[in-house]
Structure formats: structure tokens, C-alpha cells
Structure 1
Amino acid sequence: MVTFKLNDEFMFGTATASTQIEGGDTGNTWYKWCQEGRIKDSSSCITACDHWNRVEEDTELLKNLGVQTHRMSLEWSRIEPSRGKFSDDAMKHYRDEIKLLVENNIKPLVTLHHFSEPIWFHEMGGWKKTGNADIFIEYVKYVVENLGDLVSDWVTFNEPNVYVDFGYVIGIFPPGERSLSEGLKVTAELINTHVKLYRLIHRIRRERKFAGRTMVGTAMHLRIFDGISSTGKMIAKVVDYLFNEMFMEGMTTGHMMFPLSKKGSSHKKGRYADFLGINYYTRNIVEFVFDPSLYFHELVCDKDLTKSDLGWDIYPEGIYKVCKRYYKKYKLPIYITENGISDKNDTKRPSFIASHLAYIAKAIKEGIPIERYYYWTLMDNFEWLEGESTDFGLYDCNFRTQERIPRKSVRLYEQICRRKELTAEMIEDFKKYSGITIETIR
């Protein structure tokens, strides 16, 4: 039976992203991507969860869950709808939203870049054009000066490895390019920008004497990559380096040399993170394929493991492995900035949450300082290329009526958030309530 107990200081929360829930914004790159028919179910982020108009309602959901923290992002294209022109109305909206969190004793963790950018930024060359990073830095300066009294905890970039891989190497996210060399160039830009933002955010909050300890980091998508054959194991190490290690090193120390290149980030090795933000979902088996269009590899699933609705392997031990690996290397506190499952019928989610938290408890007992857990996500949302077809939410969102319908997992997660434990009695009570047996997933 999967049980655990965490300390009173541990913080539970949920995570969302502006493009995926707000709706109504036509100025970001994902709106354009949707208009071009790139989404599997032909849906659009113009609808999403209409959160922009339902902030109070959704904050009430958070309050009822009993979370101590919530991770959210800001939509750059709303705050800076045209180059150098900032929207006071958009800033007031976000201030009011964050104030609601603070008033309800929910600590905000704010993400500055979560996959989307203003269309005008891409029309100027985006991250590929030298000097454009300064535009984003000026935007962040405006944001922190206006929100820094309410927010002490910041994520500069969400999953920069996914952003580069999908947007510039594979070409399935905006801007839809397929170039390894351009991907490496953008990687260097993001690393250098993160270092500057780390210093900037600390400086602004220090000079303005904003209350609270400033915490700045990234939210990195980390996967377990395993090989079975000797060739697969070799390729898995390369994939792990390019997807996990290279970005973690760059975003944490500011220093990274790229393989087969003398070019790297422009900063001396240091420490440019106050925490390690880890988004963990799954594990992949890596196999070699003789196909340059696939960069000589493919990712497959383990036929023996339970799957999510997306076909992803459910592998809770992986969250323990990545936390142990990167704490050993960087000795920084860890926030699990995302962990979740697409599960429409809500039959696997209870065991998914319980099993991952049990491994987190195991890591903490071994001295690894994991301080927060953010479940992805509060409610079903616009899930990028999958559109409205996935079900990661604790709440089912009807995108036509905008009704938020609690899944049975809401009751379980609320009890875990409030009690910071899962006992045999809680498991039995949940089974009586839901008919679902919580089991250890290995």
C-alpha cells in the first residue's frame, strides 16, 4: 500500500499557463499557429478555459483545494501588445489576480516565458536575431518592477529544452523550424538571457526593498531516457545530454559548451538558480534508426508499463531518479514544478499522484530537499498540439459552457494538500467515496 507523510513546511500546489487557460488573446504566436490549422483537433487557444474572465471563480477552486502555492504564467503579448508599448490594463489584471492568491494565503510562483511570445517578436526575428533578447529583458524589467512587491518566486523559462527541440529542431511548435544549428544558437540565447534575468530580478527586488526572499530558477522538463540494445544505450546517452544535461547545466551554472562546436554560452561558470524546477511526466526507451530526418533515433514506450491517455509510460520511480541525480550535482532545493497525467476517466490519476508523492517522500528521507509539488493541472486546458483533447485537470472543463466539474481526484488531492500525508485510512475512505483503489505503480 502506498502511504507517505511529509513535513509541515512542504508546499502543495497546482500549475497553469496563460496561453492554455486564459483565452481571448490574438496577439501571441500560438493563436497564429492555431489559425494555420496546426492543432490535432482543430481547436484554438482563443477559447481555452476563459480564465481571463473567471479569475475569481478559479481562485476559489484553488482555495477549496487547500493548496499553499500556485504556479501561473504571464502572457507577454497582453502586457506588451506592440514593441515598447506596455498595457496598464493588462498589468492591473495580473496584479489583481496575484493579490487574490496572496489574500488567500496562496504563494505565487510566476513564470515569465511559457512557450508563447508576441507575434511581433517573431516577425522581428525572435530569438534567432542577435539583440532581440534585450527586448524580452526589458519586458521582464517592467513586469518585476510592477509585480515584485507581490511576487518573490520566479521561473524565467518553462521547459526551454522542449521549446527549442519542438520549435527549432523538430518544427512542431512555433516557429516551426527544423535546424539543429539554429536550435543550438537559440539555446545559447536562452541561457545567456536567463543569466541576465537572474541578476536583474535579484537586483530589482533588492533595490526596491521588496519583502521576501527572492527565488529565481527555471522549470525544466526532465525525462528518463533508457536504451535496451547497446546501440540504443549509446544513443540514449546522447539524447539525455542534449535534452536534459545540456540545458540543466546552462540554466543552473550559466556555462555550456555545445557538442561538436566551440560555441557556447558567454558567461563564466557560476550559480544562476536558487532552486531546481523539475517538470516530470514519463520515461522513454531510445532506439537507433537509420533516418537522418529523425536525427537517427526514435522514442518508444515500455509495453509492460501502465499508460496515460496519451500513451505515455507511467513511471513514478523516475521522479526519484531525476531529483537524486540533479541534487547530487547542484546541491539546490527542488520544486516539482509540474507532474500530472492525462486521464479522462480519472481512474489512474489517484494512484499516479500517490505513487509519485511516495517517491518524493523517499527522496526527502534520503536528504534531498524537495520543497514543493505542483500538480499539472488545475483544470483541463488547451494542451498545445493536442488542443482540447487531453484531460490533465483535477477539474473537467467544458470548453463550450466553461463549467468546471470536479473529478473524484479533487477530494484526494485536497486531503493530501491539507494533511500533507496519505494514510491507509485515507486510502480506504477514498475507495468508499470513489470506488477507486489506490495502488503503488512501479
Structure 2
Amino acid sequence: MTVQFPAEFTFGAATASYQIEGAVAEDGRRPSIWDTYSHTPGRVARGENGDVACDHYHRFGEDVALMKQLGLDSYRFSLAWPRIKPDDGPVNAAGLAFYDKLVDELLAAGIEPAATLYHWDLPQTLEDRGGWRERDTAERFAEYAAVAAGHLGDRVKKWITLNEPFCSSILGYADGVHAPGAQEGEGALKAAHHLMLAHGLATQQVRSAVPDAQVGITLNLASVQQVSDSPADAEAARRNLLIGNLIFTDPVLAGTYPDHAREVWAPITDFSFIQDGDLATSHQPLDFLGVNFYFPSRPKAVAHNEPDPAKRVASDLGVESVVHDGEYLTEMGWPVDAGAFTDLLTWLQDAYGDALPPIYITENGIACPDVVREDGSVDDQDRIRYVGDHLKAVKAAMDKGVDIRGYYLWSLMDNFEWARGYQPRFGLVHVDYDTLKRTPKASFDWYRNVSATHEVP
């Protein structure tokens, strides 16, 4: 069944600085936690890193030309904090100059720039002082936000403070599978709180520098599906909803923390790092909420990894995600369930009502086993099917009253997929990592037609 989106609906694509830029030691850029993490043996698959990535830093003109060919309304990219204000020293003018050129190129191509201030590349100098465990990092982030918005705000009007603070805090400081690779309990919860504080402080700075800015935050949220009626599985779903959604959505959208957060984490922290006024700061008026979605969440109760509650890390909730027999899995090992996307979006509306601002889908996409044919083409029908089904899921939520203004596909091009390295490919454009040649896939032409017609077949 074909669905039609409104004429004003935004169709875009997204990337992130460390995943595509390369040039990690050029023009004053200093190391981030991902430089350190990816160069630590055993952290990233096959020992790969983002030193070169897609070399977007030198090839951005070619990449913007591809965006124009694709017919994008908007391009979501992230600024590299270590390029702009890598330490306590002066602002790095050369780093800002790169984003000047990129933004000007986008505007000349008729593409709206949407800038994310933080997509995980914390300057290593700040991590050496405690990173997101420390309140001071939130203050430093606000300073950086003021510089970036003050410089680019005459041309960039759409700003996203943070991308996926769940990953920065829980995957980075509890699970240890993302930079900086820590496995802590209280440290991860401090990181989550200070990220929310940083979001609020940065929002204030962006609004001060750019009075006509649209400001939001991007959250990767869990579409929690209870797998059985057992009390244990019901409680597992409750804990999964807490750590996947509520410790981020409640501060941002309601200015609170869930009551049962203290109950779940009481053995590992006393929450003394939460100061008076913090939640009010986190709860800034938003112009939009960015939502990232890739797969459903089906939490099943299992034994805790650590039997002693006082020794558990924040992510040890006694939850395991269920995969059904014979279910299609992406190259990341994620199950596909577009209906869960509709459920998530309607849950947001039901949970927050009038407090929910308009939504942009800021990431959605799939890593496929892309095969390059002898003629160089990539016929990625799996991606076309996935994106088509998920766009229809978005429209189904809109038909139920959810205010959704746009969709940014992840990703414009294949790139460095964090701890998975370069093997998973999410792009509309194939990148040959030996030659850095860009080749549009079949999905590129399909998405160009969707963007042009606002119609999904």
C-alpha cells in the first residue's frame, strides 16, 4: 500500500563526525575518547579506527553534491567538539572554518543544515579529568555550545544538543562497549545525569546566541514489548523502560526522575550528585524531540550477571532481549519489526501528551550484506524494504495523532560503525574503503524518488 506524506514533511539523511570525517590530527583537532578507544587493542573489531574513515574532511564537496543529487531537504551532521574547543585553551579557528565551508556548501545546494553538538566524541582531555562523571564536563559543553552556535547560528537554525545519551552513559560507562570503555555503576548514572544537565545548559546557550533557533535533543528509545504475563517478565519490562527511556525522557520532557529509579539503583548510589535546580535546567522548552529507532526491545527476566547488588553496574538489570525463531536479523544482529516503531511513537504521545514537542525521526536505517556486483552496483533491496516499512510505520503514528515533522535516514554513506568497525554498512552510498570511491546504491535512487514525491510505495 502506498502512503503519502505532507508536502512540508522533511526528508533528510544523517552522519556523525568521527564516523566519516577522518583527518583526526589536522588543523588543530585534538584526540577524542573515540581516538583513544579505537587505538586500544581489543576494543574495535579488526583493530579498525576512524583516522581516515570516509575522508569527508577533504571530500565534503563531493559528498554535498551527492546530497543534492539525492534531493535531500536537510542534512543532519555533527560537529566535532575536539576540532572546535579541544581543551581549556582558545577556540580552534581552523576547526570552525571547516564547518563554515560545509554549511555554506549545503546552503548553496539548497539543503538545510541540522547540526548536532555532541555525537560521542568527547575531548580526551576532559575524560582524563573524569569525563561525563563530572559536573564540570557539562559546564565545558555549554561553553563549546556557545562558541559553535555563536559562530554558525547566522546560517544554522536547527540544533540538536546530544545524540543518544543512553549510549554515551550506559554503553560507555557501564557496559564498556563504547568509549571510554568503563564498567561502573555510579559512574554511569552520574554520566547520564550530567549529560541531561549539559543538554539543558547548552540549550540555554544556543537560544541566547541564536534567538530564532530550533533546538532539540536526540534520544534512542526502546519500544518495550512485554514477552509474557509473568511477574518477573513484567518487572524486567519495567526496568528496561526505565533505563532505555525514562531516565532521559522524564528529565527532558517532565523535569523529573521516575520514582522507581532510586529503588532500582539504591544499592550502587545515593544520588547525591543530583543538585537542586538540575532537573529544572534539564527541562528546557524544546522545539522538537529527535527519535532514533532501529529495532524492538523485548525484555525477558534473567539472572543478574553480578549477584551482589552493591557490585552491579548500571546496565546489569537482569534483562535479556528476546529474538524469535526464524526472525530476520540485520547485519548488526538486530530483529526487524516496523510495527514496534509505531508503538514507540504512540507511547511517547500517550506518556507525555501536551508536553511532547513535535518529533523528527533523526535516525533510522539498516546494515545489510551489501554485495558489490561486477559492474560496481549494489542492489540493496533489504534496505529499500526496511526503510519503506519504517516510513509507513511513521505515517501510521502520524495518522494516530503523533506530530512528526521529518525523517533522517541513517546513513548517507557507509562509515565507521563504532566498535563494529567498517564491516556493517548502513549507507545509501557505498564507500570503497581502499579507494574511498563513492557509489550510490539502488536505495539511493529509491529514496531520491521518495523525497521528490513524498510518496512511499
- Does TM, scored on the shorter chain, surpass 0.5? yes
- Per the alignment, residue 298 of structure 1 pairs with 320
Shift in Å, 1:109 = 1.0
- Per the alignment, residue 223 of structure 1 pairs with 222
Alignment equivalent of 2:449, drawn from 396, 399, 415: 415
After TM superposition, list the pairs within 5 Å mapping 1:65-80 onto structure 2.
65-80=70-85
Shift in Å, 1:304 = 4.5
Structure 1 unaligned regions, length at least 5: 207-212, 424-442
Moved over 6 A (4+): none
SS at match of 1:256: coil
Preserved CA contact (<8 Å) 2:200 2:283:
no
Alignment equivalent of 1:145, drawn from 129, 144, 150: 150
- Per the alignment, residue 406 of structure 1 pairs with 440
- Per the alignment, residue 436 of structure 1 pairs with none
- Per the alignment, residue 29 of structure 1 pairs with 33
Residues 254 and 156 of structure 1, relative CA distance in 2, 3 Å threshold:
farther
Amino acid at match of 1:379: M
Shift in Å, 1:103 = 1.7
SS at match of 1:301: coil
Give identity over the alignment, percent.
30
Amino acid at match of 1:348: D
- Per the alignment, residue 310 of structure 1 pairs with 332
Which TM-score applies when normalising by structure 1? 0.90
Q: Deviations over 1:96-148 (max 9, x none)?
A: 10111112121111100101111111112212223232111111111111011
Preserved CA contact (<8 Å) 2:364 2:408:
yes
Determine whether 1:130 maps to 2:135: yes
Amino acid at match of 2:103: I
Residues 254 and 85 of structure 1, relative CA distance in 2, 3 Å threshold:
farther
Preserved CA contact (<8 Å) 2:299 2:321:
yes
SS at match of 1:97: helix
Preserved CA contact (<8 Å) 1:15 1:375:
yes
Distance 2:283 2:423 in 1: 42
Q: Deviations over 1:348-384 (max 9, x none)?
A: 1111111111121222222221101000001110000
Residues 331 and 118 of structure 1, relative CA distance in 2, 3 Å threshold:
closer
Q: Deviations over 1:213-271 (max 9, x none)?
A: 42111111112232324122320221111111221112234432542357446233854
Shift in Å, 1:82 = 3.2
Distance 1:177 1:357 in 2: 36
Distance 1:273 1:361 in 2: 22
Preserved CA contact (<8 Å) 2:294 2:366:
yes
Preserved CA contact (<8 Å) 2:170 2:192:
no
- Per the alignment, residue 428 of structure 1 pairs with none
- Per the alignment, residue 246 of structure 1 pairs with 247
Shift in Å, 1:322 = 1.4
SS at match of 1:283: coil
Determine whether 1:259 maps to 2:262: yes
- Per the alignment, residue 376 of structure 2 pairs with none
Q: Deviations over 1:288-319 (max 9, x none)?
A: 22233444222232224322122211111122
- Per the alignment, residue 48 of structure 1 pairs with 53
Distance 1:304 1:332 in 2: 38
Shift in Å, 1:386 = 0.5
SS at match of 2:218: strand
- Per the alignment, residue 366 of structure 1 pairs with 400
Amino acid at match of 1:155: I
Shift in Å, 1:347 = 2.6
Structure 2 unaligned regions, length at least 5: 26-30, 307-315, 371-379
- Per the alignment, residue 287 of structure 2 pairs with 274
Which TM-score applies when normalising by structure 2? 0.87
Determine whether 1:191 maps to 2:196: yes
Distance 2:113 2:342 in 1: 25
Distance 1:267 1:291 in 2: 30
Amino acid at match of 1:282: F
Amino acid at match of 2:97: K
Distance 1:129 1:286 in 2: 31
SS at match of 1:278: strand
Residues 250 and 267 of structure 1, relative CA distance in 2, 3 Å threshold:
closer
SS at match of 1:176: coil
Amino acid at match of 2:448: E
Q: CA RMSD in A?
A: 1.7
